Amino acid sequence: MSQTARFVQQVSRPRGRPTGAEFLFAEEQVPVPGPGTALVENVLLSVDPYMRENMDGAWELHGPLEGRSIGRVTDSRAAGLAEGDLVFHRQGWRTHAVVRPEDVRVLPEVPGVPAETYLGILGGTGLTAYVALARIARIVPGETVYVSAAAGGVGSAAGQLARLMGAGRVVGSAGSPAKVRLLTEELGFDAAFDHRAGHLPEQLAKAAPDGVDVYVDNVGGAHLEAAIGAMREYGRIAWCGAIAQYDAAEPPAAPRNLFDLVEKSIRLEGFLVRNHRDAQDELERLLLPALAAGTVTDRHTVTEGFDGIVDAFLDMLDGGNTGKAMVRVTAS
Ligand code: NDP
């Protein structure tokens, strides 16, 4: 086991899109776990859009950064945690963590389900997509579902889950022709379009000519405005995130058509996945057989090595990922 633990700190606030200069790599001796705690060597670290928002204030400068992480227990002085256990915890952006049993979830090691999947479609990413469809939008079989940032973590899960939950038509938008092909050729979307390559409302109208019943919004701004315009009466919008506006200093100009919500009796509801952890069992019951049968794919983009974590984060913000973006610190 390595004797040096490495970690990243945020040292300055970004203006607009971060450049990487806001972060600093540092190191220390590998900590020794005290009574009731265990040492975890991290295997996988998640990089997420909400971290961009945290950089504006929620993250203390020079303080420890949080983030969804999976690691192996290498030394335990805690009842309930054994050496070799694979655990999920929230001490991110570091190679090692000292954890207490109440702060971690021991992950099952299911044959054919790699650790990556517990950050991806079986983790908070897939749970967000599931909650959006099942609890917020309350999807009804046969409905048309539109997903933005559809080739990303939440988006690729939402499209596939919508299909599994009986959607009649699934359409998605993503930021390149290659991502559009991925959606229609591999992930089962009926239609998809490149949001960087044309007029959003026109492209959406072409992809969903009869209108949209359920919109899973990962982007906000102009995407939300286009979706409101395309919604059918009694449509539901599950608002997950607004990545188009996380860099902006000013409130977004769009959506300008909010009153359409009244005219079309549309329900728009935001949510945080952390308030729906109790849906995890439902998600697993739905997904484990589908993953085993190969009817659902867990896409992820893995950056190799802890050195790559800042670049992986910036690359995800720029749309460099397909599926869930994560960093492999060490082999599991
Ligand atoms: P993704 O894997 O979707 O990565 C982010 C993607 O956003 C990029 O790949 C890029 O794809 C797209 N993107 C970046 N900038 C823009 C832009 N200006 N306009 C349109 N698309 C853009 O990330 P996640 O799956 O982790 O998260 C997706 C969304 O869900 C985020 O908004 C996030 O904040 C939210 N979220 C909310 C949760 C909740 O509890 N409510 C929990 C988890 C995530 P492309 O190339 O297609 O542009």
Ligand 1 within 6 A of CB of 175: yes
Mode of pairing for the β-strands spanning 144-147 and 169-174? parallel
Residue 285 lies in a domain: no
Quick check: CB of 121 below 6 Å from ligand 1?
no
Atom of ligand 1 nearest to the CA of 128: 42
Ligand 1 pocket check for 158: Cβ under 6 Å: no
Enumerate residues 6+ apart whose C-beta is below 8 A from 74.
1, 39, 40, 41, 83
Question: Among 154, 176, 313, which is best to mutate for testing ligand 1, by the most ligand atoms less than 8 A from CB?
Answer: 154
Are residues 200 and 129 both part of a single domain?
yes
Q: What is the domain range of residue 81?
A: 4-120+298-328
Is the shortest distance between the CB of 182 and ligand 1 below 6 Å? no
Domain annotation covers residue 287: no
Q: How far is the CA of 220 from the centre of ligand 1 (A)?
A: 10
Residues 134 and 270 in one domain: yes
CATH number of the domain where residue 72 is located: 3.90.180.10
| Cis amide bond preceding 255, omega within 30 | yes
Does residue 289 fall inside a structural domain? no
- CATH number, position 131: 3.40.50.720
282 falls within a domain: no
3-state SS track over the chain: CCCEEEEEEECCCCCCCCCCCCEEEEEEECCCCCCCCEEEEEEEEECCCHHHHHCCCCCCCCCCCCCCEEEEEEEECCCCCCCCCEEEECCCCECEEEECHHHCEECCCCCCCCHHHHCCCCCHHHHHHHHHHHHHCCCCCCCEEEECCCCEHHHHHHHHHHHHCCCCEEEEEECCHHHHHHHHHHCCCCEEEECCCCCHHHHHHHHCCCCEEEEEECCCHHHHHHHHHHEEEEEEEEECCCHHHCCCCCCCCCCCCCCHHHHCCCEEEECCHHHHHHHHHHHHHHHHHHHHHCCCCCCEEEEECHHHHHHHHHHHHCCCCCEEEEEECCCC
CA of 188 to the centre of ligand 1 (A): 20
Query: Is any ligand 1 atom within 6 A of the Cβ of residue 37?
Result: no
Tell me, yes or no, whether 36 and 79 share the same domain: yes
CA of 197 to the centre of ligand 1 (A): 18
Atom of ligand 1 at shortest range from CA of 273? 40
Answer yes or no: do 266 and 146 share one domain: yes
Residue where one domain finishes, among candidates 259, 274, 289: 274
161 and 259 inside one domain: yes
The residue whose CA is least distant from atom 39 of ligand 1 is: 272
pLDDT for residue 300: 97
In a domain, 292, yes or no: no
Q: How far apart are CA 116 and CA 113, in angstroms?
A: 8
Question: Are residues 175 and 40 located together in one domain of the fold?
Answer: no
Q: Total domain count for the chain?
A: 2
Q: How far apart are CA 219 and CA 184, in angstroms?
A: 20
Is residue 229 a part of any domain in this protein? yes
Q: Is residue 30 situated within a structural domain?
A: yes
Indicate which residue's Cα is closest to atom 2 of ligand 1.
152
What pLDDT does 331 receive? Answer: 81
What is the pLDDT at residue 2? 59
Ligand 1 centroid from CA 174, angstroms: 10
Is 151 touching ligand 1 by the criterion CB < 6 Å? yes
217 with 195, same domain? yes
Probe ligand 1: pick from 50, 243, 321, 326, max atoms within 8 Å of CB?
243
Closest atom of ligand 1 relative to the 153 alpha carbon: 25
pLDDT at 32: 96
> Do residues 174 and 220 both lie within one domain?
yes
pLDDT value, residue 112: 87
pLDDT at site 136: 98
Q: Which amino acid is at 200?
A: L
Ligand 1 geometric centre to CA of 48 (Å) = 8
* Residue-level pLDDT at 317: 98
Question: Do both 107 and 48 map to the same domain?
Answer: yes
pLDDT in tens, the chain (332 residues): 558 999 999 999 999 999 999 999 999 999 999 999 999 999 999 999 999 999 999 999 999 999 999 999 999 999 999 999 999 999 999 999 999 999 999 999 888 899 999 999 999 999 999 999 999 999 999 999 999 999 999 999 999 999 999 999 999 999 999 999 999 999 999 999 999 999 999 999 999 999 999 999 999 999 999 999 999 999 999 999 999 999 998 989 999 999 999 999 999 999 999 999 999 999 999 999 999 999 999 999 999 999 999 999 999 999 999 999 999 999 87
CB 231 within 8 A of CB 171: no
What is the 133 CA–ligand 1 centroid distance (Å)? 16
Same domain for 87 and 157, yes or no, is no
Closest ligand 1 atom to residue 320 Cα is 9
Residue 219: CB within 6 Å of ligand 1?
A: yes
Same structural domain, 196 and 253: yes
- C-alpha–C-alpha distance, residues 157 and 214, integer Å: 15
In a domain, 261, yes or no: yes
Distance 322 CA to ligand 1 centre (A): 11
The answer on 112 and 35 residing in a single domain is yes
Q: 304: which 2 tokens?
A: 């190799």
How far is ligand 1, taken at its centre, from the CA of residue 144, in Å? 21
Q: How many A from CA of 152 to the centre of ligand 1?
A: 6
